[in-house]
Structure 1
Amino acid sequence: MTILKFPAIRARQSEAHTVLSFAALASDLQKFAVIERVARDAEGGLSGFQRPQIAGHIREIRDYLEKPEAILPNPIVVAFTNNVEISDQGGDGRCVVEIDVASGAPGMVVDGQQRLTALGQVHEKDFQVFVSAIICRDDEELRRQFVLINNTRPLPKSLIYELLPTVTGLPRRLGDRSVAADIAARLNYDKSSSLEGQVYQHTNPGGMIRDTAIQRVIINSLSDGVMRELIREPDGPDLCFKLISDFYKAVQYVFKDEWKNHTPKTSRLVHGAGIMSLGYVMEILVLLDGARTFDDFAKGLACLIDTTAWTSGEWNFAENDKRHWKSVQNVNRDITTLAQYLVTIVRADIRRRRKETQGNVDEPRQTIAGA
């Protein structure tokens, strides 16, 4: 059978969308709905949107569903963009849904992936479940519904953020994050990036740097830093990408031993606190030292070499504030303290270098005048 038919109820919710509810056997549900896992292709292109399976949670649901008294009142939410026909059966919302599965399952699971996976592992009975169906005009609208539906539920925020660049028409708070998420993803997947493959995302679980930390650096800069102006240029995203890539390339060069082969547990340099506090250093070097390239940033960071405790020793934040290197945590208080400490050293070094440069310029002039 290539056409599956279900009596349904249509809800009047939005003129732009069709929302339905019907009951379906788990075996039929698996014919018309699939779980599309979030992934990246070789070029870094994003596909899918569902998080990885949680094996323990799925086993718990399966074990429960195998019991005679089991019920599953929560619906599986499925979105369609094609191969669905709806025939009204009266003016009270009753209708018939026809789903064409000849070319495969046309529906995408928006919510309930763990439940659906568990249902597929129950072999003693064909469990009937409720389905909430959303008819979307295209794939972009489907992704938008996924983000909006799941943003209020306990899905990992990093997964939501990774999907944001593929969606438009979002609330402003998510739209602002989308720009940062897009640059962060490019830093992770662009071959020219100094951070290629090093950023932890759902599509790159082997990354050591949290994507949310990199996004916070970008968001701060877009709000009150150099990227606020750069992003307005015709090639703004490219300029922002190159700037932050060059900066962290310099960080990796200057602090080679504290970066290479380390994790957030073994080095505060690749820890969220280190990544975010160094973002403020980048801003100071751009603002006061005119830094724009890898060479500029490497020169500006050199003053920090003997004053940091990324992997051992103590941080001498103040005369009465000495801390073990590992005590710096990824909380606002510690990030602010570390950033202020680093920025103070960098500011002093910039002033010192300016004085030396000024002195070198004046001395020849005095010699020539005397002659």
Structure 2
Amino acid sequence: MTESVIKRRALRIEQHPSIPLYLFALEAGEVDLVADVARISRDEAGRLLGYQRPEKKQHVKQILEYLDSEDVLFPNGLILALPSTVRFRGSRGPNSTDGLSTIGTLEIPLPASRDAPRPALIVDGQQRSLALALTKKSKLPITVAGFVAEDLAVQRDQFLRVNTVSPLPTNLVSELLPEVNTKLPTKLSARKLPSILVNALNQDSDSPFKGLIKQASTTPDKKSDVVVKDNSLISAIEESLLPSGVLFPYKNLSNGTIDTTTIRNILVVYWTAVRDTFPEAWGLPPTRSRLMHGVGIRSIGRLMDRVMDRVLTVADINSKDAYDKAMAELALVKPNCHWTEGRWLELNISWNELQNTPRHISTLSNFLIRNYLHSRMSAS
């Protein structure tokens, strides 16, 4: 490599007091030298790594075809997270700044070899960057906005924010939310706690869902093991956190604190009892078990509010009595459930005709709750 540093004229934007922001240009062929893609994954300890979704080959191909065409105008720039080792030297003279920006020279260090990690990470524009690495027009100038932040939490926060117009895959957003500690938009903020809980349920050794939940970081070799979509479980938990739900009392609205430990324990006790009540239906692909299907997760999740409300009136959630009581309550609905075969007679529908639609979720959950309350009254 002929030089260890790329130098570019740049504008430093006076926007954030502690996170420098620069606007500059790179040649198309330089992007691959400077920036890497941080793919979302998990290490052996279960810690979340990266934040980017998988490559979309067709999208990359379309961009590349345009880049290699005649008279290219490519204003769609990249957003990079730059390392703290970049250096900016402002130009001298009275006209170097207008109070909003300062003109100068940005120096970006390059890796010692092609195999070494790149200094920057792509926060927005990974599909464009992959096409830029392949284009014949390697000298084409590309606009870049770069902010200096090596903290993954800051990078993930920006990644979520810049991808609001073209929505990210729901499971990718759900898995990233627990790692973001800055103030979020209301809609994303409401999903953060359920996402944290689903991450815990997928990793904790005492959880019946351990290793069963499909997330954005699920590797191809694990695809056959995961049977529950994280979004279905997140939605079920979201509903139980509403004022009418059994989890709501553990949110202290006056001081903003949340008893996450107790909420997690309620979920573990209830869903463990669900697993043990319906062992023949647990852990199967949703094509073979509607309990693992979105319609089953959402519907039996709504039943949790009724069952666990009763359980918590007579048992400490941390005692074995809570599990035993949950099993006894679920036994009231078990005879009328058909997760893997047969027909739901009152609903006049075959087990495998149930779909993850609002109508079927509402129909099935109403049946389960109605059946539970009727059986409870009959047993009294």
Query: Which TM-score band applies after superposition, normalised by the shorter structure?
Result: 0.7 to 0.9
Q: Which secondary structure does the structure 2 equivalent of 1:259 belong to?
A: coil
Cα offsets for 1:285-328 (capped at 9, x unmatched): 111344643332222212223312223332234xxx52233332
**Distance of 1:21 and 1:109 partners within structure 2:** 15
Alpha-carbon distance in structure 2 between the residues aligned to 1:235 and 1:332: 29
Aligned-pair CA distance for 1:122: 3.3
- Larger proportion of helix: 1
Q: Which moved more, 1:27-36 or 1:270-279?
A: 27-36
Aligned residues: 350
> Post-superposition shift, 1:99?
1.4
TM-superposed CA distance for 1:161, in Å, is: 1.7
CA contact (8 A) 2:88 2:106 kept: yes
Counterpart of 1:38 (choices 28, 37, 40) is: 40
Q: Offset at 1:64?
A: 3.5
Structure 1 residue aligned with 2:240? 221
Cα distance in 2 for residues equivalent to 1:209 and 1:33: 35
Q: Distance in 1 between matches of 2:19 and 2:145?
A: 13
The 2-side partners of 1:347 and 1:214 are apart by: 23
Is 1:95 matched up with 2:104?
Answer: yes
Match in the other structure for 2:154:
141
Cα 1:41–1:226 shift into 2, 3 Å: same
For 2:192, the equivalent position in structure 1 comes to 178
Alignment map for 1:132-171 (pairs within 5 Å):
132-136=145-149, 138-168=151-181, 169-171=183-185
SS at match of 1:223: coil
2:372 and 2:215 mapped to 1: Cα distance?
31
Q: Which runs of 5+ in 1 are unaligned?
A: 356-371
Match of 2:262 in 1: 239
| 1:308 equivalent among 318, 331, 337 | 337
Q: What's the counterpart of residue 75 of structure 1? A: 77
> In structure 2, how many angstroms separate the alpha carbons of the residues matched to 1:137 and 1:332?
42
1:55-87 Cα distance to aligned partner (Å, 9 max, x none): 232233334333344443200111225122222
* 1:227 partner letter: L
SS of the equivalent of 2:160 reads helix
Matched, 1:200 2:202: no
From 133, 145, 148, the equivalent of 1:120 is 133
Aligned match of 1:264:
286
What secondary structure, in the 3-state scheme, does the structure 1 residue paired with 2:288 have?
coil
Deviation at 1:137, TM superposition (A): 7.5
Question: What amino acid does structure 1 have at the position aligned with 2:335?
Answer: D
For 1:98 and 1:49, how far apart are their aligned partners in 2?
Answer: 26
SS in 1 for 2:22: strand
Listed as ranges, the matches of 1:283-362 within 5 Å are 283-290=305-312, 292=317, 293-317=322-346, 321-353=347-379, 355=380
Identical residues among aligned pairs (%)? 28
Question: Structure 2 residue aligned with 1:254, among 251, 257, 277?
Answer: 277
Determine the C-alpha separation between the residues in 2 that align with 1:112 and 1:79: 12
2:27–2:138 Cα contact (<8 Å) kept: no
Q: 3-state SS of the aligned residue for 2:74?
A: coil
Residue aligned with 1:258, SS: coil
Alpha-carbon distance change, 235 to 86 in structure 1, aligned in 2, over 3 angstroms: same
Q: Indicate if the aligned counterparts of 1:81 and 1:138 stay in contact, CA closer than 8 A.
A: no
Query: Distance between the aligned counterparts of 2:214 and 2:371, measured in 1?
Result: 30
Q: Which amino acid aligns with 2:227?
A: M
Q: Deviations over 1:173-206 (max 9, x none)?
A: 3222111101101111222221011111011262
Residues 182 and 81 from structure 1, CA distance in 2 versus in 1: closer, same or farther, beyond 3 angstroms? farther
Equivalent residue number for residue 25 of structure 1: 27
Flag the structure with larger Rg: 1
Structure 2: distance between partners of 1:120 and 1:340:
54
Output the TM-score relative to the length of structure 2.
Answer: 0.84
Query: Could you tell me which amino acid in structure 1 is paired with residue 289 of structure 2?
Result: S
Comparing 229-238 and 146-155, the one that deviates more: 229-238
Secondary structure in structure 2 of the residue aligned to 1:8: strand
Q: Distance in 1 between matches of 2:12 and 2:270?
A: 54
TM-score (normalised: structure 1) = 0.85
